[in-house]
Structure 1
Amino acid sequence: MSKSRFTIRQLTTAAIIAAIYAALTLLLPIPQYGGVQLRVAEAMTVLPFFFPEAIPGLAVGCFLSNLLGSPYVLDWIFGTLATLLAALWTSRIKHRALAPLPPVVCNAVIVGAEIAYFSTLDGAAFWPAYAFNAFTVGLGEAIACFVLGALLLRALERVPALKHA
């Protein structure tokens, strides 16, 4: 019998994280798609700092919310990729204050490029559109992660069972 990588508890945690991420993204009445967006659920992208099982949970939650909320297949792929890469990077961060940085960078770069591509379909207008969209996506992500995500980390750090080494 082979040993599973995640325990039932970790798989359950990942599933709950995916469900909460998708629900927050799909149910909150604030801009969450397009150039100017603030996904409150992105505050959860700091969770891999404490929980490795948050990595697949966030990726699945992002994929589901993009699948159900965006008509663009590229968004399903690249939006999910940005969240997955950010979660993997966040899991390797050693200092809590830096945990919000990977999601901001990954989403600004990847989602900013994706939105610029959709709005210009390549050509000379891509780079100005990319600069604008990377800035606006990065700004919304910074608010979600450095404000809400930092508060979430601070609250989780006070849970004795979650003391980070």
Structure 2
Amino acid sequence: MNHPEKLRSESVWTTQELTKMALVAALYVAVTFALQPVGYGNIQFRVAEMFNFLALYNKRYVWGVTIGCAIANRASPNGLLDVIVGSVCTFFVLLLCRYLTRKIKDMRIKIAVTTVIFAISMFTVAAQLTILFQAPFLFNWLTIGIGELLSMAIGGIVIYVISKKIDLTA
């Protein structure tokens, strides 16, 4: 028979970890909603993408960012498709970035690599817009990729500076 204290120690996440994930998800949603006019469409500058870098500091944030992205995409003009495509792609690209940067010690390089990977990954959003609106794929990929590159580059600087003042790994 399991004892209550044994069950608690076997839980996947602590209350503190769940709270941090929920906070990141809420911040992602709030920032996306506050800047909604530039967060959707074929020209995007989604400032909340800066939270993607948190996954480099702690794997728990893969879930927080993914859930935040899914909730934020509910407001997308592309509806449920954007929720599914956007959040699934975010989840897998975050895992890919964690994997590809796992041996890199310098966080600035990890941030740069993650920025480029996310910009390239915008082919998924471009494909979605091409399917929904018969919009030109390469143009969509270019404009969305540039927006992602810029928002991630600026966001990377912000998160890096914050990480010097707050331990994001804890």
Which residue of the partner structure matches residue 115 of structure 1? 129
Q: Which runs of 5+ in 1 are unaligned?
A: 121-125
Shifted more, 46-55 versus 79-88: the winner is: 79-88
Matched pairs, number: 155
Greater radius of gyration (CA): 2
Matched residue of 1:5: which SS? coil
Counterpart pick for 1:51 among 28, 34, 58? 58
Q: Distance in 2 between matches of 1:69 and 1:38?
A: 14
Which residue of the partner structure matches residue 100 of structure 1? 115
Shift in Å at residue 144 of structure 1? 0.9
Q: Distance in 1 between matches of 2:36 and 2:75?
A: 15
Which residue of the partner structure matches residue 133 of structure 1? 140
Q: Distance in 2 between matches of 1:163 and 1:66?
A: 27
Q: Over the residues paired in the alignment, what is the CA RMSD in angstroms?
A: 2.1
Letter in 2 for 1:100: T
Residues 1:13 and 2:35 aligned together? no
Deviations 1:122-156 (A, max 9, x none): xxxx6xx1111111111010011122223312431
Q: Which runs of 5+ in 2 are unaligned?
A: 1-6
TM-score in terms of structure 1 length: 0.83
Runs of 4+ in 1 over 6 A off after TM superposition: none
Shifted more, 84-93 versus 34-43: the winner is: 84-93
Shift in Å at residue 162 of structure 1? 4.6
Q: Distance in 1 between matches of 2:140 and 2:27?
A: 26
Equivalent pair of 1:26/1:69 in contact (CA under 8 Å):
no
Shift in Å at residue 74 of structure 1? 1.1
Equivalent pair of 1:45/1:100 in contact (CA under 8 Å):
no
Equivalent pair of 1:36/1:136 in contact (CA under 8 Å):
yes
Shift in Å at residue 29 of structure 1? 4.9
Shift in Å at residue 6 of structure 1? 1.9
Shift in Å at residue 88 of structure 1? 1.4
TM-score in terms of structure 2 length: 0.81
Shift in Å at residue 98 of structure 1? 1.7
Q: Percent identity?
A: 26
